[in-house]
Amino acid sequence: MAKVMEASGIPVALITALTTLAKDVGAPRIVQGVRIPHPCGNPALPSDRDRAVRRRIVMMALKALQTSVVNPTSFVDPSVLI
Amino acid sequence: MRLEMGTFPITEATFGPRTELDGTRLVIDHDELAALVLENGFFRRVRIEIVSPGESARIIHLLDAIEPRIKVEGPGETFPGFLGSVETVGEGRTHRLGGVAVMQSAEIPGRGKGGLLMVREGIVDMTGPGAAYSPFSQTINIVLTLELEPNFSDEEYDRTIRLAGLKAARYLARTTVDRRAPQYRTYDLTISCPALPRVVYVHQIQSQGTFARTFFYGKPLDHLIPTLVHPNELLDGALVSGNYAYQSMKTPTWLHGNNPVIEQLYDRHGRDWNFVGVILSRGHFYGISEKQHSANHVAKLARMWNADGAMITWEGGGNSIIEAMLTIQALERAGIKTTAISYELGGADGTGTPLLLYSVPEADALVSCGTYERPLRLPSVKRVVGGRTIRCDPAKGGHHLPAHQSLQLDTSLQMYCGTNQVGFGRRRGIDF
């Protein structure tokens, strides 16, 4: 879906735990998510820290949208990884 | 480590006054078996039915399938960690009833838990087109339909259902204890021709949580770091399945003890290769680094074993193909030639993409065990065992269909072991 939408001129940031898979299918802007069951946050953390993690992921996704890319490109904020 | 497996082929099963073996006929004392199943107190009642190949019958709500087995000589117990201590098995002598499966059937309450780890419908058709999807259409099935007492936890149901099946299986195999088996086979990894290439089997199982779990000596493998095991341990019941997540691509306990890959690696051991052992690994890790970590450890263990070749199978579907593929890559990069068995996708007619969710260039020798993506029409049957209606799409809230009628299924995901990746199937994919 990310590929098709990009092709029609809409930048798409794909947040996923499985960056390898996203790269494999050619998604242009790949944002590192946390885990398969919870890509956009970490429910194991206290809620204020989870909120911070979620914010960092979304900020990274916004950065990805503003970056011009040619090939599949990964955007990783190491602090969100467990 | 030398295991002698005595097989008592069974051609017929009936109820009778006393549980015994009469030649190749298994006679079952219904009430005694029922009392054994009910003794843990979680079931309101049990219905025991015998279902034989060729019958116009459909078994539904299937959970595990277990081969009747008993340890008659040597250390440990059948299904160690559940029915006995955790003493290491795989030596001595074990008896099995050939061609028989004990199965539990139960409607486990959904409880709206959602997600991927819920119990999904499992179907065996004993005749017609569905029989080709169900390897267990060829076995005599002793089905325990369990009516659950209300208000127990998922974990309590899960454990009790498993124990009921394992105990029933051992009970039936007890008929063989003082007898000599018509067939014996010895499993021994001793190497007589050191020059032959060394081959390892990588058995990637599924173990994520309740209802999607595999046990090794009774312990869940949810946090498994790849480990070395002796194939005889697996042939002797060390692996027990509690995996009901996707019934078409799972490995029930019956199959862990009769794994065709292990059987065939043994068949040609000392002739075409030396089978050196099994690496047990787990798929479905939730992050890419754990997946890579698991793959790296498998390759490291195979190198420590001086393996020249590896055979890998992977249980379950979805993202666990990533561990399987990364493992192939890590093994090939370590100079170990690797081949795998997998189902394929490709849509209803097999021409769609992708054929696999994920692949690596090193995966250049794959064996297909068919697809589940083809729609399937099952004809009506005379007899339904395990309930009245089948439950479709539980993840979407579930809807029920009368089970005896003809069924139009979008996929064959519910067909029990229809695309299991250890190759115990009646279907395959051919590249043409």
Q: Which residues of B touch A36 (CB under 8 A)?
A: 286-287, 319
CB contact under 8 A, A17 and B287: yes
Give pTM, 2 decimals. Answer: 0.93
CA gap B233, B280 in Å, rounded: 11
Give the per-residue pLDDT at B383.
98
Chain B, 341-380: which have a CB under 8 Å from a chain A CB?
A: 354, 357-359
Pairwise CA distance, residues B2 & B188, whole Å: 5
How close A8 comes to chain B (CA, Å)? 21
Distance from C-alpha of B193 to C-alpha of B191, rounded to nearest angstrom: 6
Strands (E), B167-303: 183-188, 198-205, 212-216, 219-220, 227-229, 239-243, 274-282
Q: Name the closest residue on chain A to residue B288, using Cα atoms.
A: A18
Tracing tokens 């809230």 back to the chain, one arrives at: B397
Selecting from A17, A21, A24 the residue whose C-beta is nearest the C-beta of B286 gives A17
Residue B93, beta-bridge partner list? B4, B73
CA distance B81 to B380: 41
Q: Which residues, 6 or more positions from B60, have their beta carbon under 8 angstroms from its beta carbon?
A: B105, B121, B122, B123, B384, B385, B386, B387, B390, B403
| Minimum-distance CB partner of A18 among B319, B354, B359 | B319
Contact list, B322 vs chain A (CB under 8 Å): 18, 20-21
Q: Nearest 5°: phi and psi at A14? A: -100, 115
The minimum CA-CA distance between A36 and chain B, rounded to whole Å, is 5
- The confidence score (pLDDT) of residue B225 equals 96
- Residue B187 is assigned to a structural domain of this protein: yes
Nearest to A35 among B115, B286, B358 (CB): B286
Residues 6+ apart with CB under 8 A from B174: B19, B70
Contact yes or no for B220/B297 (Cβ under 8 A): no
B118 and A CB contact within 8 Å: no
**Does an H or E element contain B141, and which?**
strand B140-148
- Most A-contacting residue of B288, B291, B345, B358 (CB-CB within 10 A), to test interface: B288
Q: If you count residue pairs, one on A and one on B, with CB atoms under 8 Å apart, how many are there? A: 28
Q: Is residue B425 part of a domain?
A: no
pLDDT by residue, tens only, chain B of 432 residues: 999 999 999 999 999 999 999 999 999 999 999 999 999 889 999 999 999 999 999 999 999 999 999 999 999 999 999 999 999 999 999 999 999 999 999 998 876 555 667 889 999 999 999 999 988 999 999 999 999 999 899 999 999 999 999 999 999 999 999 999 999 999 999 999 999 999 999 999 999 999 999 999 999 999 999 999 999 999 999 999 999 999 999 999 999 999 999 999 999 999 999 999 999 999 999 998 899 999 999 999 999 999 999 999 999 988 999 999 999 999 999 999 999 999 888 888 888 877 888 889 999 999 888 889 899 999 999 999 999 999 877 767 778 889 999 999 989 999 999 999 888 876 666 654
Cβ within 8 Å, pair A81-B319: no
**ipTM value for the complex:** 0.79
Residue B431 is assigned to a structural domain of this protein: no
Q: Where are the beta strands (DSSP E) in chain A?
A: 13-16, 29-32, 73-75
Task: Give pLDDT, residue B431.
Answer: 56
A81 touches chain B (CB under 8 A): yes
Measured between CB atoms, does B319 come within 8 Å of chain A?
A: yes
Is B115 at the interface with chain A, CB within 8 A? yes
Contact B250, B206 (CB under 8 A): yes
Q: Please give the residue range of the domain that contains residue B346.
A: 2-409
The total domain count for chain B is: 1
* Any domain includes B41: yes
pLDDT at position B399 is 80
Q: B429 lies in a domain? A: no
Chain B residues with CB-CB distance to A24 below 8 A = 358-359
Q: Does A82 touch chain B (CB under 8 A)?
A: yes
Pair B394, B119: CB distance under 8 Å: yes
- For residue B259, which of B130, B420, B62, B79 has the smallest C-alpha distance? B420
Q: B430 in a domain, yes or no?
A: no
Q: Is the Cβ pair A35, B358 closer than 8 Å?
A: no
The token pair at B342 is: 């997998």
Residue B205 phi/psi, 5-degree rounding, is -105, 175
Interfacial B residues in 271-310 facing A (CB < 8 Å): 286-289
Name chain B contacts of A57, Cβ cutoff 8 Å.
Answer: none
- Each residue's pLDDT tens digit, A41-65: 999 999 999 999 999 999 999 999 9
* Shortest alpha-carbon distance between residue B109 and chain A (Å): 23
Do the Cβ atoms of A41 and A34 come closer than 8 Å? yes
Q: How many helices (H) and strands (E) does chain A have?
A: 3, 3
| Selected residue of B286, B291, B327, B329 to mutate for chain A interface (largest A Cβ count, 10 A) | B286
Q: Would you report the helix, strand and coil content of chain B in percent, each value rounded to 5?
A: 20, 35, 45
Q: Within a domain: residue B335? A: yes
Residue A20 sits at the chain B interface (C-beta within 8 Å): yes
Q: Does B432 fall in a domain?
A: no
- How close is the nearest chain A Cα to the Cα of B353, in Å? 11
